[in-house]
Structure 1
């Protein structure tokens, strides 16, 4: 595909690629400091309070496809997720028969519009994994370096929870947590009986107002749809919208960036080239500084595609590290039928759009056969019914005593079916483990030499395998789930996953927490970025998404992406003042 390249005459101070957690935070901080910013987003404009986009508080039958998903609406019509693992005209490939499912978000604010808002700080050990267990590498920074930025993110965005004084799960500056719902009270009691901690969840949802621009949660349990009150955190509403109000941000949506442009004499970045997805025209943005925040894999794709005589292996890649050390969170799940929750009294049990309690990692890996931990997320309760609900009635184990005293399986048809729906409503629980994988050089993404997308941009090719460490971790998750379910008096749904399917371990990429492809480090020979997320090879290029991560931790990455982006933004401001940029 060939284009006529159209140059933007304005030279911006900063060009930011991607409007999610990292890009949104950089735009917010740099625009406040007075920088003229071009913010490029590969998807469309989105505002959850705009009537054009509202799906919150709609009835199930208002869904155009009755709740069904499509490749571009992977979680259904009502979920605020534009994008998916399989986008039309935007392929990716695999190498050596391995598997990796790559989720691309295509909307303002990126993945922060539809995530679970689980907002956990990394702990001291998470930044020094090699020192702890000899595997992987230490970060070039410590928890103490990031703590001031975690504190500022807490204050700016808001996170509820409760101090627990856990050594590797640092407490935030918490808003009051919501009270546990009935099934969560039961989980908490069961956890105590088997010595598994269950504590208040830590989610970036406002349980009380923190400023005039955002309301507080009204407990509709629909954060995934986008909040009209801006009570939950999404980059689009909490960071990008305020940054636009400064007058210093030029937002370009449906802008698919092709590469970072450089001056072959100085080696510095001069801007980016992008394709207007609607007009299919190619344009350039000129900028003094380029900040990549397109997601770990997309940012590495941009760097690897930014080849030139001066940078034959791609930009910021003299180390050959870009694309390598890719890793996603591990994930395994189990659900159960709870006979004691049948025939429940009806009341509003919606709560926040997520869990009110969770289990942080509680064991010593030195006493286990795998090196890294996981946390447990819980679900259940009397949520809004949707199309396709069954509440465990399809489970042959879910039998109960009928009116005649005989054991029966839920379901049937007619009056029997309706009565069983009512009896089973609210009688299911679920739990999911989310854990840390060990970063490995042989898990990577690279440019496929033979395949381009519909815009003519070379695509990524993935090579990824779980190791025995992750498989053994998934086995431990399943054993733990069964232990909790039995302590609850529940009946596990289906058969327990075994070694034949890696104990239910989700395919790499399915948890959508991929990090590590443009890792930071002190040595330019083994890392792409320095400790301020600045490219070793090109001083005016920064990467502020999950690509900079050296290791994942048993926590969700968003809070750390936000903190590191703020830290990088402060560094950019300081370096500009010193005329080093």
Structure 2
């Protein structure tokens, strides 16, 4: 059952065995497992609930306003010479899983080995393998077929071939994907197996109740035990408070993500003695390089992401073929007036190449303005060097894929032109 908070006339009160705060990849899994075990479960999500047919009618800007936290403008402020990093986080039933490209990588063995050395012996590669397999079955993780490669990805592959860089198909959590290329605004066909259509659906089938538009403001405690939560129901498009709610629970699970879990715990008076609360935030910074091809690419036709290269994996960098919503690409073009329009007219010929970095920097999360966090982050010096290397490789890939500079925006020109 889903209760759409914005449709409620006011607040509510209920009692359950387990209250889960957050409906993303963490909260949804907990809700499903506990509901299947026979416990009564309530899931509270600050964001709204939307069906696949809703995603299809939203523009990119409307999707960002409705489903992205901060309309997609949440940032980690760089400390020292670190850059500011955009943080893509969801505020919707299903959390960030609704807004990703569906890419599913297993945690590499070398990373698990490091965790074991740090004392997390239950997370060894051998012990994690059956768990990975279980999750992959739940969300249908499969290789992306060649016929779903977009024109942008085809250029990425062509350039990589000329540079003798190995390419592999990405594994994604999808079922009957038709290559709509709208992954980051919610899959309009329901093909992407995000947690709202997998784990949460199974949780609801076993009696769990999911409440959307419900902002949890405090975890209630008695002595050293959590006994429930309180908060406000948010109504209307602007999220104005509509009424208060209280959920009484034997167990409270806070799964509000790396940015909001520390804020909720701190606001509830929990973990104040811990020096780790809100500290040691880690990110995997990403980058994108744009290029203009001599002919139409129409990169929006096909899977948003379908191939990758581990050519730089030893340096902690993964290279990816990708694309983005055309309106987003157009908004990143420089200039005003006719100059800007001349660049926008080249979007059908645009290609994007991207990468992800395993950084060893650290950040922190503090209370910011309103109910949003203030996030700061300091990249490791080695990470800044490696991300520059990744950008250069991506630009060379674009050049070998026969993309050009020429009339392209300066920041989009290939390194070799």
TM band (smaller chain): 0.7 to 0.9
Q: CA deviation at 1:160?
A: 2.2
Alpha-carbon deviations, 1:297-345, whole Å to 9, x = none? 11111112221xxxxxx23x65421211112221222111222xx268x
Match of 1:276 in 2: 233
| Aligned mates of 1:9, 1:349 — CA distance in 2 | 45
2:171 is equivalent to residue 202 of structure 1: yes
Instruction: Say whether 1:108 aligns with 2:77.
Output: no
Structure 1 residue 121: Cα displacement? 1.0
Q: 1:176 to 1:86 in 2, by over 3 A?
A: closer
Question: Could you give the per-residue CA deviations for residues 237-281 of structure 1, whole angstroms, max 9, x where no partner exists?
Answer: 2222332232x21222221111222221xx121121222234554
Q: How far off its partner does 1:45 sit?
A: 2.1
Q: CA deviation at 1:219?
A: 3.0
Identify if the C-alpha distance between structure 1 residues 362 and 477 changes in structure 2 by more than 3 Å, giving closer, same or farther: closer
Partner of 1:261: 220
Corresponding position of 2:364: 444
| Structure 2 CA distance for partners of 1:281 and 1:225, relative to 1, 3 Å | closer
Q: Deviations over 1:87-140 (max 9, x none)?
A: 99xx999798995655553321122222111111111112234789xxxx5645
What residue number does 2:135 align with?
Answer: 153
Matched, 1:338 2:281: no
For the 8 Å contact 1:128–1:138, the answer to whether it is kept is: no
The answer for unaligned runs of 5 or more in structure 2 is 1-10, 236-240
Contact 2:155–2:351 (8 Å) recurs in 1? no
Q: 1:319 to 1:439 in 2, by over 3 A?
A: farther
> Do the aligned partners of residues 430 and 103 (structure 1) sit closer, same or farther apart at CA in structure 2, a change above 3 Å counting?
closer
Aligned partner (choices 278, 291, 306) of residue 323 of structure 1: 278
- Name the CA distance, whole Å, in 1 between partners of 2:404 and 2:209: 55
CA contact (8 A) 2:68 2:91 kept: yes
User: SS state of the match for residue 354, structure 2?
Assistant: strand
Question: Is 1:23 matched with 2:27?
Answer: yes
1:357 is aligned to 2:311: no
Deviates more, 1:79-88 or 1:102-111: 79-88
Q: 2:402 aligns with which of 479, 485, 489?
A: 489
2:104 to 116, 119, 129: 119
Residues 387, 452 of structure 1: alpha-carbon distance in 2 compared, 3 angstrom cutoff: closer
- Output one character per residue of 1:178-221: Cα deviation in whole Å (capped at 9) or x when no partner: 45455534432431332322111222122xxxxxxxxx223333
Question: Hey, what's the Cα distance between the residues in 1 that align with 2:77 and 2:149?
Answer: 43
Which structure: larger Rg? 1
Deviating more after overlay: 289-298 vs 96-105 = 96-105
CA shift in 2, pair 1:104/1:122, >3 Å = closer
Gaps of 5+ in 1: 1-5, 68-74, 162-174, 207-215, 308-313, 366-372, 396-409, 454-458, 498-502, 504-581
Moved more, 99-108 or 328-337: 99-108
Partner of 2:377: 464
Note if 1:291 corresponds to 2:276: no
Query: Could you tell me which residue of structure 2 aligns to residue 143 of structure 1?
Result: 125
Measured in 1, the distance between the counterparts of 2:351 and 2:75 equals 36
In 1, the alpha carbon distance for the partners of 2:89 and 2:326 equals 28
In structure 2, relative to structure 1, the CA distance for the partners of 1:40 and 1:391 (3 Å cut) is closer
2:52 is equivalent to residue 48 of structure 1: yes
Structure 1 length normalisation: TM-score?
0.58
Decide which moves more: 182-191 or 470-479: 182-191
Return the structure number with greater strand share: 2
Residue 521 of structure 1 is matched in structure 2 by: none
Say which SS state the counterpart of residue 52 (structure 2) adopts.
Answer: coil
Task: Provide closer, same or farther for how the CA distance between residues 290 and 350 of structure 1 changes in structure 2, counting only shifts above 3 A.
Answer: same
- Residue 38 of structure 1 corresponds to 42
Computed over aligned residues only, the root mean square deviation of the Cα atoms, in angstroms, reads: 3.9
Where 1:287 maps in the other structure, the secondary structure is: strand
Pair 1:250–1:330, CA change in 2 (3 A): same
> Normalising by structure 2, what TM-score?
0.79
